[in-house]
Amino acid sequence: MKTQLSEIEGVELKSGDGGPLDVLIDFYRAFNAGDLRGLESVWLAGEAPSMDNPIGGIRRGWIAIEEGYSKLFSGPAKVHVTFHDFTSQGGPDWHLFVGRERGKCVTADKELEIAFRTTRWLVRLDGSWRQLHHHGSVEDADMLRDYQRLIFG
């Protein structure tokens, strides 16, 4: 896979081949727009997918993952991130993106710069690439505390 992008926000031009990079662009487009249906089209359906991060906790299965996104999107904070400083490797039926996210979390009266370490694992099933797993972590404990306060109130 030829990767020429140094960061992904979801506004980038896709190759149109339906490959892992196109799916990653679709993920960030949907996430940054708060688009649950768009996220559903990117994630693997059923009980197989999993997600683990400091805001959503450990979630297994698309229904639990969707519930976490729904709570985030309907809450007081708006989150916008860009994926950067990433590696990309894969095989015929798997692909792994490992990198960082940076962005902002904004409420009516606060704005916080945020940063995460991020892994996204995609698989090809029945000819389509879908996200199987996401793991996010935080290096800055103070930023995490402030971020959780903005998200959870």
Domain extent, residue 129, equals: 7-152
Q: Is residue 128 part of a domain?
A: yes
Reply yes or no on whether the pLDDT at 80 is more than 70: yes
Q: What angle do CA 48, 40, 106 make, to 5 degrees?
A: 115
Residue 106 inside a domain? The answer is yes
In a domain, 110, yes or no: yes
Pair 122, 130: CB distance under 8 Å: yes
Q: Has residue 142 been placed in a domain?
A: yes
Distance between CA atoms of 148 and 150, rounded to whole angstroms? Answer: 5
Using DSSP bridges, classify how beta strands 128-137 and 50-53 pair: parallel, antiparallel or unpaired: parallel
Q: Is residue 58 part of a domain?
A: yes
Residue 2 placed within a domain = no
Helices (H) and strands (E) in the chain, counts: 4, 7
CATH number at residue 34: 3.10.450.50
Residues 104-140: tens digit of each pLDDT: 999 999 999 999 999 999 999 999 999 999 999 999 9
Is 2's pLDDT higher than 70?
A: no
Q: Has residue 3 got a pLDDT over 70?
A: no
104 domain-assigned:
yes
pTM to 2 decimal places = 0.95
pLDDT of residue 15: 94
